Structure 1
Amino acid sequence: MELKNTRPAGWFYPWAIVGILWLVAFLNYFDRNLIASMRDPIVAEFTLTDAQFGLLTTMFLLSYGILSPLGGYLADTYGRKRIIIFSVCVWSAVTLWTGFVHSFSEMLVARVIMGISEACYIPAGLAMIADYHKGKTRSLATGLHMSGLYAGQALGGVGGYMSMHWGWRYGFQVIGLFGIIYGIILIYFLRDNKNKQADEFVSKDATPVKETRLGLFQTIRMLISEKSFLVLMFYFCVLGIVNWMIYGWLPTFFKEHFMLGLGKAGFSATGYVQVGSFIGVVLGGILADRWYKSNKRSRLYLIIIGFSIGAPCLFLMASTHFFPLAIVAMMVYGLARGFNDGNLMPILCQVIDGKYIATGYGFLNFLSTIIGGTMVYIGGMMMDAHISLSIIYQVSAVFMVIAAWSLLTVKIKQVD
């Protein structure tokens, strides 16, 4: 049977979408995480304090967070494909530019623009996958896509090695150029699923009726009026703080706490967590989809179980001076994060109207990244004030357990 361009049939294209977007997810996180593992040469070249270096990540996260609701709203309104392609091409061009900056202020501007462009991708990409996958495959499909983020985070750690051998600018230049080329290729392979985007619905007399859409701020007001969405907001905020403190400062923590070289610290801080996360996101997706057949709250329960084990392991990592034990602890934490990442968008699809899932996810991203980004900067200030990163990670672990258990109050409304 021949496939129609606007309505791909069968099992192949929905899974092909996951594969196509996997590489986009990889580039998204590889680009943004290169900078953390290249801390020392960047600080040396521009003569930066820890607070200034933290500001590079903070400004990225602020712009990323502020524009996330708009990026999601545009994806809900004008289609996932257009927003994804725009995002990939712009952030790749900015990555290429970063490899040629001549001052700290110029790099700061580049990070702000990168945040704006990347804000459009995650809500649109996850919404496109949700459009093609329902309850029986949604967690696994989402999880496989999120494994691309893990791969980008893990390989972002090789930036330390690249900076030692070729200089810190090389990685930005090569990856930026590759991303621009891939963005152009996406024009020919991505397709919106018109059947599931709910741009229109058909009445009983088969007459197409154009649906009335809420504006961005009306949509946000509608979302925050839901008690379960408010719980998700609290959870996302704590998750953002913990995740971005890990992304932004774990290479520095490993380097100083365990006396590692720059390259080994950068790779260890990203690679081992991602191994655990990759296992967790696939295993969590499979378990959630199977458990979902008998219990529609399966995705919520898996996240709670995951962080009830994983958050104490984060506390252990921050407390021990035995490096192999710290590695095992971070792999277990990564497993919990994998359970989380494969199920967050599917949970959102069960809590709010499907017409607004990209906007809803974008708004949650807005809160978590604004707060998380601010904490990266505050973390740098605390380090300048000689407050140990060990203490910061221990406190973060405690709040992560509290946030995970708050999910028990979330009510499921939508069933696939």
Structure 2
Amino acid sequence: MSKETSITATRDVEARSPLEPGLERGAQIADTGQAWYALGILALAYALAYIDRQLLNLIVDPIKRSLLLSDTDFSFIQGTAFVSAYLIAIPFVGRLADVANRRNVLVAAIAIWSLCTALCGMAHSYSALFWARFGVGVSEACVFPIGCSLITDYFSQRRAPRAVSVFMASQWFGAGFSLVAGGWVIASAAGLRDIIPPLATLEPWQMAFIVVGLPGVAFSLLVLATVREPARRSLLRGAADERAFSIRETFRFLWQRRGFYLRVWGAVSMQGIVVLGMPAWLPAFLIRFHGVSPAVVGYRLGAIAVICGATGVLAGPWLSRLLERRGFRETDVRVVIIGMLGMGACCVAIPFAPGAFGAFCAIGGAIFSFGIPIGLLVVILQFPTPNRLRGITAAFHTAFSQLVGYGLGPTAIAMITDKVFGNPRMVGYSIAIVCGVASLVGVVILLTLLPRYRRMLAESAVK
């Protein structure tokens, strides 16, 4: 290629990137130190989202007593507020991730959900808490699709599975820290009133929301100052991938391949019932059935979530590569099936485990097992998908998880407890029924996904 031809080609690439000025001239940063730093920031953002999201689960009974709610009433704050927020946010978030500056959208989202979390602590009524929770849901809907889209541009195909797993593992650090922080705030409520006079009139559960929420605003400024928007690339083919799909082209592409995408989203929906339904009622189960104090529940569940959840997510790609070296194909899907079988078995064991120690062990097994599929399901979705569609597909991915997981998981467990057993102490058996059935259905869906995943990879590799 002549020098003149090379210059012309470079100018052509620059002309095709009007939405993100400056990126077309930037050097590739795949797998560099800058990419790993950005991954660390994205992981912290995802952890922060889970801190704000999961804190509610530790303080179920104090909020119920304060606002005079039933288990079913409370489940609507846990589930419906988030689900309705995600349904509204989906088309906007997914589209923004594919056509806009993703870093800037993420900065705004972090600031908004942090403020809404603090507003949860200011709530004195059911409706006020519901709408503050709704605000958290709308803004947190951004972090997953934007994070997935950015990571697949920051890293090569070889490094992307590990990077995605690190990103997904961060949710367990966030969930665990939220329980630890919540337990600390509850145990230190009296001292905090003396140190921070404006908190003196608030109940401990309200303090927890404010203390956990407000630091996120400062973190959003750090993201703005230090994270760079990368150039968009095709992950499988390694070339620049700048062509934006119209809305009509987007939905035509997804519809033509619905057999693949609906099965992935169906599997993540079943996993969502377990991942989002079980933790919503685990603190209540341990407090009601085993008599463990809320502070101890927070510390222990927090440690288990961090250790077992993060280990499970990071173990997923390792197990997939191990099976690949042994000659298996579509190993990502096969490892997800193994993880779902394990999480179903452990969830069923929770109410039957002897004593609180046995329950914590079964919970650790369940969290490790449902950590295994989390990163791999993202890889299964993202690898065969064009760059400019990764945001919308990731948005639907998290939407199905939230819609079914939060919409059915906590409420189904609560309704079985209220309507079938009629005894709050039986919530552990409700967890076993709902999570066991969801795991089995997920395995069946994944078994039918294998041939479609093979065809999608082959189609993407030749384009």
Does TM, scored on the shorter chain, surpass 0.5? yes
Deviation, structure 1 residue 6: 6.2
In structure 1, the partner of 2:431 is 393
Cα distance change on mapping 1:32 and 1:210 into 2, 3 Å: closer
If you compute each CA radius of gyration, which structure gives the higher value, 1 or 2? 2
CA contact (8 A) 1:258 1:321 kept: no
Measured at CA, do residues 175 and 135 of structure 1 come closer, stay the same or move farther in structure 2, by a change above 3 Å? same
Change (3 A) 1:21 1:129: same
Give yes or no for contact 1:308–1:404 (8 Å, CA) kept in 2: yes
Give the secondary-structure state (helix, strand or coil) at the position aligned to 1:282.
helix
Q: Kindly indicate whether residue 163 of structure 2 is the aligned counterpart of residue 141 of structure 1.
A: yes
> Retained in 2: the 8 A contact 1:228–1:351?
no
Worse overlay, 27-36 or 151-160:
151-160
* 310-319 or 108-117, which deviates more: 310-319
Q: Which among 345, 370, 387 is matched to residue 378 of structure 2?
A: 345
Amino acid at match of 2:274: V
Q: 1:165 aligns with which of 168, 188, 210?
A: 188
Query: Following TM superposition, by how much is the alpha carbon of 1:364 offset from its aligned partner in structure 2, in angstroms?
Result: 2.2
CA contact under 8 A between 2:30 and 2:154: conserved in structure 1?
A: no
Q: 1:305 to 1:74 in 2, by over 3 A?
A: same
- Whether contact under 8 Å (1:64, 1:118) holds in the other structure is no
Pick aligned residue for 1:324 from 334, 357, 360: 357
**CA–CA distance in structure 1, aligned partners of residues 274 and 446 of structure 2:** 17
CA contact (8 A) 1:136 1:292 kept: no
User: 1:183 & 1:378 partners in 2: Cα distance?
Assistant: 35
Identify if the C-alpha distance between structure 1 residues 329 and 210 changes in structure 2 by more than 3 Å, giving closer, same or farther: closer
Identify the match of residue 214 of structure 1 among 246, 249, 252: 246
Q: Does the CA-based 8 Å contact 1:285-1:343 persist in structure 2?
A: yes
- 1:132 aligned onto 2:154: yes
Alpha-carbon distance between aligned partners in 2 of 1:244 and 1:256, rounded to the nearest angstrom? 20
Measure the CA separation in 2 of the matches of 1:349 and 1:55: 32
Q: Distance in 2 between matches of 1:38 and 1:51?
A: 15
Is structure 2 residue 60 aligned with structure 1 residue 52? no
Q: Is the contact made by 1:237 and 1:367 (CA closer than 8 Å) also made in structure 2?
A: yes
Deviations 1:180-206 (A, max 9, x none): 0110111121222214279xx999xxx
Alignment of 1:53-68 (within 5 A): 53-66=74-87, 67-68=89-90
Please report how far the alpha carbon of residue 296 of structure 1 lies from its aligned counterpart in structure 2 after TM superposition: 5.6
Q: For residue 196 of structure 1, what is the amino acid of its counterpart? A: R
In the alignment, is the contact (CA less than 8 A) between 1:288 and 1:299 conserved in 2? yes
Q: Check 1:17–1:287 CA distance in 2 against 1; reply closer, same or farther (3 A cut).
A: farther
* Contact 1:131 1:193 (C-alpha < 8 Å) held by counterparts: yes
Q: Deviations over 1:60-118 (max 9, x none)?
A: 32134312343122111113212211210110111122222232211111001110111
- Give the aligned residue type for 1:68: I
Match of 2:392 in 1: 359
Which runs of 5 or more structure 2 residues have no equivalent in the other structure?
1-22, 190-203
Q: Does 1:194 align with 2:231?
A: yes
Q: CA deviation at 1:306?
A: 1.9
Instruction: Work out whether 1:407 is the aligned partner of 2:446.
Output: yes
| Equivalent residue, structure 1, for 2:216 | 179
Corresponding residue for residue 297 of structure 2: 265
Aligned residue among 36, 43, 55 for 1:34? 55
> Is structure 2 residue 141 aligned with structure 1 residue 119?
yes
CA contact (8 A) 2:154 2:230 kept: yes
* Post-superposition offset of 1:210: 7.1
Q: What secondary structure is seen at the aligned counterpart in 1 of 2:176?
A: helix
Distance 1:202 1:38, change over 3 A: closer
Distance in 2 separating the partners of 1:315 and 1:202: 47
Distance 2:31 2:413 in 1: 49
After TM superposition, give the deviation of residue 315 of structure 1 in Å: 0.9
Work out the CA distance in 2 between the residues paired with 1:241 and 1:10: 34
Alpha-carbon distance, 1:356 to partner: 1.1
Partner deviation per Cα, 1:243-266 (whole Å, 9 max, x = no partner)? 221121111111122221122234
| Partner SS, residue 343 of structure 1 | helix
Q: Post-superposition shift, 1:169?
A: 2.1
C-alpha distance after superposition, 1:276-301 (max 9, x if no partner): 11111222233435655765622112
Percent identity between the aligned chains?
23
Q: Are the structure 2 counterparts of residues 44 and 193 from structure 1 closer, same or farther at C-alpha, using a change threshold of 3 Å?
A: same
Give the whole-Å Cα distance in 2 for the aligned partners of 1:64 and 1:190: 27
Gaps of 5+ in 1: 204-208
Match of 1:206 in 2: none
Q: Deviations over 1:165-223 (max 9, x none)?
A: 2212223222322100110111121222214279xx999xxxxx9735221x7534532
For 1:72 and 1:299, locate their aligned partners in 2 and report how far apart those are by CA, in whole Å. Answer: 24
Cα gap change, 1:202/1:315 in structure 2, threshold over 3 Å: closer, same or farther? closer
Q: Which residue of 1 aligns with 2:402?
A: 369
Shift of residue 10 of structure 1?
5.4
Structure 2: distance between partners of 1:104 and 1:399: 30
Alignment equivalent of 1:103, drawn from 90, 113, 125: 125
Displacement after TM superposition at 1:242 (Å):
1.5
RMSD: 2.7
For 2:28 and 2:356, how far apart are their aligned partners in 1? Answer: 52
1:373-403 CA distance string (max 9 Å, x none): 2222343333333163233222222330331
After superposition, the Cα gap between the structure-2 partners of 1:84 and 1:289, relative to the gap in structure 1 and judged at 3 Å, is: farther
Distance change (3 Å), C-alpha of 1:127 and 1:231? same
TM-score, normalization: structure 2?
0.80
Query: In structure 2, what is the Cα distance between the partners aligned to 1:219 and 1:120?
Result: 19
Shift of 1:310: 2.9
1: CA distance between counterparts of 2:293 and 2:335?
36
How far does residue 359 in structure 1 lie from its aligned partner after superposition?
Answer: 0.8
Give the whole-Å Cα distance in 2 for the aligned partners of 1:103 and 1:6. Answer: 52
Q: Distance in 2 between matches of 1:38 and 1:340?
A: 28
Checking the alignment, whether the CA contact within 8 Å between 2:116 and 2:136 is kept in structure 1 is yes
Aligned to 2:16: none
2:40 maps to: 19
Judged with a 3 Å threshold, the aligned counterparts in structure 2 of structure 1 residues 272 and 212 are, in CA distance, closer, same or farther, namely closer
Q: Is the 8 A contact 2:232 2:387 kept in 1?
A: no
How many angstroms apart in 2 are the aligned matches of 1:137 and 1:289? 12
